[in-house]
A and B are shown apart, each in its own frame.
Chain A
Amino acid sequence: MSPDTHFIENDYLKVFQEVTRLISSVHDAQEVMDLVVRRLPALLEVDAATIRLFDRGTNSFVLGAAWGVSDEYLSRSTIDTDEVMSALLSGRPTARKNIDVSCDHDNCAFISKEGVKSAMSLPIIYKDQITGLLRLLTKDRREFAQAEINFAMSLAEQVGLAIATCQMFQELENQVRFFSAQREISRLVNSTLNLEQILEAIVEKLPGIMGVKGCTIRLLQPATNRLELVAASGVSKKYLTRGSINREDSIFKVLKGEPVAIYDAANDPRVNYHAEIREEGIRSILAVPITNDQEIIGVLRLLSAHHRSFSANDTHFAVTVAEEGGNAIEKARLYRKISLLFNQIEEHERFLQTILDALWLELLVIGPDQRIIMVNKHFLARHGRREEEVLGQRYPSVSPWHDATGQHSPLEQVLRSCKPRTVVKQYQEADRERWFERQLAPIINGQGAVDFVIEAVHDITDQVLLEQEHSQRMKLQGVIEMAGTAAHELNTPLFAALGTAQLLRDDVADPEMSAEMDLVINNMKKMAALTREMIKVTGFSSNAYVGSTRIAALQSNAKPSTS
């Protein structure tokens, strides 16, 4: 080993120790990357350093950290030539000078403008996998020696190890945090059946736990099968109203059940509205399906303000929360539906009760066990009962018409025969007899059994009295008409007999015979007066009785005879 070589190796050792010491002092992968790109140029006498990480989602390298170059340079789409990228993906380092001149890709202008002349590109390998790239750049034309390349390669390996270790450390930390957070979110979403509270709990809690700026939840609407924004946090109204995302590629994938992690959201073709994403300051997006019993019911999106390569654990946690949330959301939706149904049933019941109460008849609804299910206001008012006293009670104890002595009451007959029945019966009420018509109608279910019996009771006392009066009047009218006819038929012979008797009386001279004739004439006149009265009666008039009905007024029409 020459003194020069020894000197160089000694320097390399110092640098190696320095780098190892630095990267061992932090446990955050981003900090490691930032530290490496900031400190390495001075140690290795280059102008700039960049680290890019391999993103499995896009199968490309995304920026991890950079120092010494502009954002414009970093934003170019092509990192290096196909030859260089191929070598790196094979795990081989490359070192080239004049990269601004011998450039065969479409982003050479960025390199020229930045003034980069030479570049050493090193694969970052961890467990035989390419996990990223470390590039060292100079603005002078520099030929990297093999020893420098080898040394840088060992540094890149060290960086890869450090990043992986930190990532692992962070993952472990995250997992512990996630477990705790998951428990909290689970508690929150399962503590309520209010859909809005569940959605709010997720969008408010999740960003803090996952270290992102915002969160959105969109649910598939059953009627349209389209996603509709139902909750959001950490983003502006303007961003939320940017337009439909139903046709975004990322959404299609998520709705198939596949989580989608987008590192560079402002440029990634899997999402639309790049300008709005940029304006909102969103760098990375993680979208996961919201599921319930393996059915996808929506999409949950986490929006990061920093470029972030979401880890498998991040994704797993988000998926778990989305699943938990999905179950709670579905439960809340079901509860809402049931509540709505209950409200509708209650409203229908109120409507029905209003109608029943408005009926001017007494009404009872009786179950097959002979217990009262429903009663109307008219029944309660007539019998001085309260609804709570009546509902649930057995029919015999409630119904004033129940005949305890009867072997089979009308209700029992309806329950047994499943056929309606009408009963008209007289009841003594206080000092008055009343007539009631009871109509008992069964409501038959699909199995042919009686679900309910509706008993409607009309007070028909007035009607019965009216019918009785009408019947009496008809009978009386018949008698009157018969009397009139008889009187008429009697009048003519009586006229002939009386007249003849009077003529005979005029002809008789014997006083004794005259007296006898007078007796005959007087009696005939009495009969004549009687038939006159009978005729007068037949000319009866009527007085107002009930409603439009009138009855005969016999006495008032019978006037004393004048002949």
Chain B
Amino acid sequence: MAEILVLDDVLDAVVLVKKVLTREGHHVRTFTEEQEAIDHVARHRVDLAVLDIKLKKMNGIQVLEEMKKLNPELRAIMLTGYPTLETARTAIELGAGEYCVKPIDILELKEKVAEVLTR
């Protein structure tokens, strides 16, 4: 049972991820605003952050960087609909456990989450 944070600018996407991971028994909090998500990390225990890269005001990499400052142990999976080498490399450098390209199969998502949480 892990505390999981999901951040995406598209509400449908966070709802879906929440459904998938809740069924796996995790406790999931969803956000569509970057700052709210960062604030949540500052105040609560979070084991894993599932972050979209393309957001509203910031990008997922910047959000991850801020969250890592607040919680260096935080694990993360990056989701993106537009993968680039640059964002993938930076995400890995910042400690992201996976870099997944949308649309990801929910089975694959479950496996990646499980894998990252066990590391």
Q: Which of B15, B19, B81 contacts A487 (CB 8 A)?
A: B81
Q: CA A489 – CA B81 in complex, angstroms? A: 7
Provide the residues of chain A in CB contact with B52, threshold 8 Å.
492
* Complex: A492 Cα to B52 Cα, angstroms: 9
For residue A525, which residues in chain B have a CB less than 8 angstroms away from its CB?
105
Q: A491-B103, A563-B105 are in contact. Are A496 and B16 (CB under 8 A)?
A: yes
Cα separation A535 to B53 with both chains bound (whole Å): 15
Name the distance in Å between B92's Cβ and chain A's nearest Cβ: 17
Whole-angstrom CA separation of A487 from B104 in the bound complex:
14
| Segment of B6-14, B34-42, B63-71 engaged in the interface with chain A | B6-14
Interface hits, B1-52 → A, CB 8 Å: 8, 10, 12-13, 15-17, 19-20, 23, 52
B residues at A contact (CB < 8 Å): 8, 10, 12-13, 15-17, 19-20, 23, 52, 54, 79, 81-85, 101-109
Q: Does A443 contact B (CB under 8 A)?
A: no
- On whether the beta carbons of B20 and A503 are closer than 8 Å, the reply is yes
A503-B106, A563-B104, A563-B105 known; A491-B81 Cβ under 8 A: yes
**Residues in chain B near residue A211, CB distance under 8 A:** none
Binary interface encoding of chain A residues 284-297 relative to chain B, with 1 for a CB under 8 A from any of its CBs, else 0? 00000000000000
Q: Let me know if B8 and A499 touch, CB within 8 A.
A: no
Inter-chain CA distance A178–B13, complex, in Å, is 131
Q: Are B10 and A493 interface neighbours, CB within 8 A?
A: yes
A to B CB contacts below 8 Å, 9 in the list: A487-B82, A488-B82, A494-B103, A495-B104, A499-B106, A502-B107, A503-B20, A525-B105, A531-B81
**Bound-complex Cα distance A563 to B82 (A):** 15
> Assuming the A-B contacts A499-B16, A503-B16, are A492 and B81 also in contact, with contact meaning beta carbons closer than 8 angstroms in the complex?
yes
Residue A498 interfacial (CB < 8 Å): yes
Known: A484-B82, A488-B54, A488-B81. A496 touches B15 (CB 8 A): yes
User: Which of A495, A496, A503 gathers the greatest number of chain B CB atoms within 10 Å?
Assistant: A495
Beyond the given A487-B82, A496-B15, A563-B101, could you list 12 further A-B residue pairs with CB under 8 A, ordered by the A residue number? A487-B81, A492-B102, A493-B12, A496-B12, A498-B105, A499-B16, A499-B109, A503-B16, A503-B20, A532-B101, A535-B101, A563-B105
Complex Cα distance A503/B79, Å? 19
Which residues of A515-535 are within 8 A (CB) of B? Answer: 524-525, 528, 531-532, 535
Q: Complex Cα distance A497/B13, Å?
A: 9
Q: In angstroms, how far is the closest chain A Cβ from the Cβ of B70?
A: 26
The chain B residue with its CB closest to the CB of A501 is B106
In A458-500, the 8 Å CB interface with B consists of: 484, 487-500
Q: Chain A residues near B10: list those with CB within 8 A.
A: 492-493, 496
Find B105's partner among A484, A493, A502, A532 (CB 8 Å cutoff): A502
The residues of B that contact A490 with a CB separation of less than 8 Å are 81
Taking a contact as CB atoms under 8 Å apart, the answer to whether A503 and B82 are in contact is no
A498 touches B83 (CB 8 A): no
Q: Does A57 contact B (CB under 8 A)?
A: no
- Which 3 A-B residue pairings sit nearest by Cβ, starting from the closest? A491-B81, A495-B103, A496-B12
Complex CA–CA separation, A528 to B81 (angstroms): 10
Determine whether the beta carbon of A499 is less than 8 Å from that of B103. yes
| Closest B residue, CB atoms, query A562 | B101
Q: Does A539 contact B (CB under 8 A)?
A: yes
For residue B107, give the distance in angstroms from its CB to the closest CB of chain A.
8
**CB-CB contacts below 8 Å: A95-123 with B:** none
On whether the beta carbons of B82 and A491 are closer than 8 Å, the reply is yes
Known contacts A492-B13, A499-B103; decide if A563 and B83 are in contact (CB<8 Å). no
Check A535/B105 contact, CB under 8 A, given A495-B16, A496-B13, A500-B16: no
A502 lies within 8 A of B106 (CB): yes
Query: Which A-chain residue is minimally distant from B79 (CB atoms)?
Result: A495
